[in-house]
Amino acid sequence: MLNSNTATLVACPTCQTKTPWSKENIDRPFCSPRCKLIDLGAWASESYAIPQQTSEEDEIFSEDLVIDPNKSFL
């Protein structure tokens, strides 16, 4: 049986430092606010991306997405 006072240690996604997964660690799963901001910056700069597969259907309907410069949206 696990001791309820023992916090589980997880690796920080940014620097891999072992950090406690507990209510006291407000930056979890990160070890610090700095690592949290580094990760946020990577998402904002689009360094992370979810892989996407293209299909024939995407090619067919992509023509519908062309913006007509003469059309007003207001």
- Beta bridge partner(s), residue 8: 21
Q: Which residues of 9-30 are buried (b: 16+ CB within 10 A; e: fewer)?
A: ebebebeeeebeeeeeeeebeb
Binding site annotation covers 29? no
Binding site annotation covers 35? yes
Binding site annotation covers 62? no
At the topology level, CATH places domain 9-64 in Erythroid Transcription Factor GATA-1; Chain A (3.30.50)
Q: How confident is the model at residue 47 (pLDDT cuts 50, 70, 90)?
A: confident
pLDDT tens digits, residue range 48-69? 887 777 667 666 666 666 666 6
pLDDT tens digits, residue range 29-44? 999 999 999 999 998 9
Binding site annotation covers 30? no
Q: Does residue 21 have a pLDDT over 80?
A: yes
Share of the chain above pLDDT 90, in %: 46
CA 8 to mean position of chain CA atoms: 22
